[in-house]
Structure 1
Amino acid sequence: MHRAEDPLFFTLLVESYRRIVGQEPPFLAPPLLAPEARPSASWLYAEAPVCVLAHNTAPDPHFIYANRCAQDLFGYTFDEITALPSRLSAEEPAWGERQRLLEQVAKNGFATGYSGVRIAKSGRRFRIEDGVLWQLKDRNGSLRGVAATFAKWRDV
């Protein structure tokens, strides 16, 4: 099964957020999730009006997930973005800031209120606002990656 709509990966995203952050994931909260909508891997991938991305634990992490909202914002298909090192979503001068954020996530399990400039495939720059990053840990506590979600962005 393609990770984009894999229910096990959806469960990892949701359960990790709940365990590590101690709250319901914002991408499942009203009004983002309409009362008639049923949270599922397919809904998060195809219909969620917020961006959700994740990268793996490699020394130079690559994206392993990006929902359609994130794909549209960054201008990549699923296959293109999942072949991309996640550091390339920011310009080189911002790599240090990005690394410090990831170190905070490694230390605390999550970070909230993140803002930063990112770059689309086209070269368009946009600023993410009020993002949340969290560790993707399975039920056994094994680290599988880091995920991010944000609902606000603007071109810069």
Structure 2
Amino acid sequence: MSSFSAELPADLWRGWVTHSTALLNSYRERTGQELILRGGDAASEAERLLAAPFVVVSHGTGADPLLNYGNRVALALWEMTPAQLLETPSRLTAEPMLRDAREKLLAQTARDGFVSGYEGVRISATGRRFRISNVTIWNVTDAAGQPAGQAATFGRWTFL
């Protein structure tokens, strides 16, 4: 068990592992590529996704969806703990004046399955602004094929 998984209650870690599998499978289904090297059990894959050297972040399906996953790079970039992340509405990752453009992008993703090459500005929990580049956003489905939210990944950002 990693230090991260040790920080979470066992039931939350199990949910995190299940969601990691949904993220990985949905990414492959939508883009035809693997997000990380696959293999081993679900917990091992969840650990590799958590430790990936790029951002992976997602939100659920609610009317004002909450963030429901962030790997270590995402948590550091948005300056949040796992507990803070899980209580944060996804819209708060963008500044108020940029939220309409973000919503249009998410609607396009919902329609098309995934979008690649997005660039935009985001804001951390402490107000630190950063530009994200070459972002891929995809629709996430659970093991039963039901909508489970949307996710994003990127490896480039610049603090503003």
TM interval, shorter chain, is: 0.7 to 0.9
From 91, 95, 101, give the equivalent of 2:95. 91
Q: Please tell me whether the aligned partners of residues 64 and 82 of structure 1 are also in contact (alpha carbons under 8 angstroms).
A: yes
Q: Specify the alignment match of 2:66 in structure 1.
A: 62
Query: What percent identity do the matched residue pairs reach?
Result: 39
Q: Specify the alignment match of 1:36 in structure 2.
A: none
Say whether residues 1:14 and 2:18 are aligned partners: no
1:122 Cα offset (Å): 1.6
- Root mean square deviation, CA, Å: 1.9
Aligned length, in residue pairs: 146
Partner SS for 2:62: coil
From 45, 54, 79, give the equivalent of 1:40. 45
- Whole-Å Cα distance in 2 between the matches of residues 3 and 134 of structure 1? 23
Matched AA of 1:117: V
From 100, 125, 140, give the equivalent of 2:104. 100
1:21 Cα offset (Å): 1.5
Partner SS for 2:24: helix
Gaps of 5+ in 1: 34-38
Partner SS for 1:2: helix
Matched AA of 1:43: R
TM-score (norm 2): 0.84
TM-score (norm 1): 0.86
